[in-house]
Chain A
């Protein structure tokens, strides 16, 4: 075979291989790109689904809360009013006046509780007034019970949070405070909001009986799981520090 023939054949083969490499590279690169787009879309859909599920859970919990409030608090006060009115002795003016005064006080309490419940349930309200005002309201509510001494502290400027994040943080705060009331048997609760650099931290501390977080998680405590789940949805992390008889500290850390 002459040199020129060898050159031509080698040239053709090398050029064709080079071309095949370029075309394969192009197709593989495109395939990778499409796979990346598909995965991105999947993640977006999953997140949207989780967000929806979480919102439904929040709604379910809110309805449960309304039910408890109506039964345990408002219902009791209303029953008391009814008893007072039923047992009103009009022939004894002094006693009757006293009962009417008690009943008026109970009606006032009922109205206040209704207003408080309305504010507590309204997510739009929390978005409108902001997270700080919402938490102030929760702290005020705790202090009003007379069984708790709650305080709120703010360090650094409050970040500009979007509506969704505000609602999630507000509802998480409510759940943490409700759990504290139900389970901690403590006397003091401290809530602090702190912004340092690109991190917004919300910390809840109580002096209650505490618990073993690991054991609670292993036993499948749905309250803690829910909180973890919601924190993940807003790209935040939830840190729980607690030990039996040593109180509890729960921190929500949100990168800004």
Chain B
């Protein structure tokens, strides 16, 4: 495991520990339980990737499993923010569609031996869109509540940052590989800046007062 990966795992683990502590002390609302699952799967991916790297030359198939799962969890997170029944139906409908899309991509377009950049691109675009929808929701319907005091605002900012990086770096990683492996590696490491920022923003959100269970 490289240093950048290790730092990322530590940050994820720190967030996870605080969530466990809050869960034990005060209980967690559903969006935070989903966030807990997202962080746990991200750590599992990083560790699994590191372990498999020693035994298998290609561990990219992990991403073919992880990305649809990640998308599903983030979709569930946004559904539980209670934006509006119409938006929830829209997000809900997007989940099976994305699963079918990623499955088709993994079988026919970018097989499990190849980096699934199309799926990452689609996932990033859709989740950025959901994040922006939530910001709009705050601006229109939750104007009476200070955004800085809203934990989901910080978590959503983290999601937006992470998937912005993911969209351009992991989404175009295959093209970068064509330019050169060194270049691709450099950008891959740059992607960790976004992951760290996401962890910090998640941490701010997690440390905010536990919101009421209905929201």
Contacts and interface: CB of A to CB of B under 8 A. Distances in A.
B183 A5 contact: yes
A7 B179 CA distance: 13
Interface string A1-30: 010110110011001100100110111011
B interface: dominant SS: helix
Nearest to A19: B160
Interface stretch (B33-41, B44-52, B164-172): B164-172
A27 B147 contact: yes
Interface string A23-51: 10111011001100000000000000000
Contacts of A2: 179, 183
Nearest to B148: A27
Contacts of A4: 172, 175-176, 178-179
Interface in B132-169: 132, 135, 138-139, 143-144, 146-148, 157, 160-161, 164-165, 167-169
Contacts of A23: 135, 157
Contact of B172 (A8, A25, A30, A34): A8
A8 B138 contact: no
B147 A8 contact: no
Interface in B6-43: none
Contact of A26 (B128, B144, B147, B187): B147
A8 B165 CA distance: 9
Given A5-B179, A12-B164, A26 B135 contact: yes
Contact of A16 (B139, B164, B187): B164
Nearest to A12: B168
Given A19-B160, A19-B164, A30-B146, A8 B135 contact: no
Contacts, number: 52
Interface in A142-157: none
Given A4-B172, A15-B167, A26 B157 contact: no
B117 to A, nearest CB: 12
Interface residues of B, number: 25
Contacts of B161: 16, 19
A185 B120 CA distance: 93
Given A22-B135, A26-B138, A8 B164 contact: no
B164 A5 contact: no
B139 A5 contact: no
Contact of B168 (A11, A22, A30, A34): A11
A142 B175 CA distance: 99
A189 B161 CA distance: 78
B84 to A, nearest CB: 18
Nearest to A29: B139
A38 to B, nearest CB: 13
B139 A30 contact: yes
Contacts of A22: 132, 135
Nearest to A32: B143
Interface string B106-145: 0000000000000000000000100010010011000110
A27 B142 CA distance: 12
Contacts of B135: 22-23, 26
A154 B139 CA distance: 52
B169 to A, nearest CB: 7
Nearest to B178: A4
A33 B144 CA distance: 8
Contacts of B148: 27
A30 B183 contact: no
A65 to B, nearest CB: 48
Interface string B180-199: 00010001000000000000
A8 B179 contact: no
A7 B147 CA distance: 33
A34 B164 CA distance: 31
Given A19-B160, A23-B157, A26-B138, A7 B172 contact: yes
Interface of A: 2, 4-5, 7-8, 11-12, 15-16, 19, 22-23, 25-27, 29-30, 33-34
Q: What 5 A-B pairs are tightest by C-beta distance, nearest first? A: A11-B168, A2-B179, A8-B168, A15-B164, A4-B175
Given A4-B179, A12-B168, A30-B146, 6 more contacts: A8-B169, A11-B167, A15-B164, A23-B135, A30-B139, A30-B143
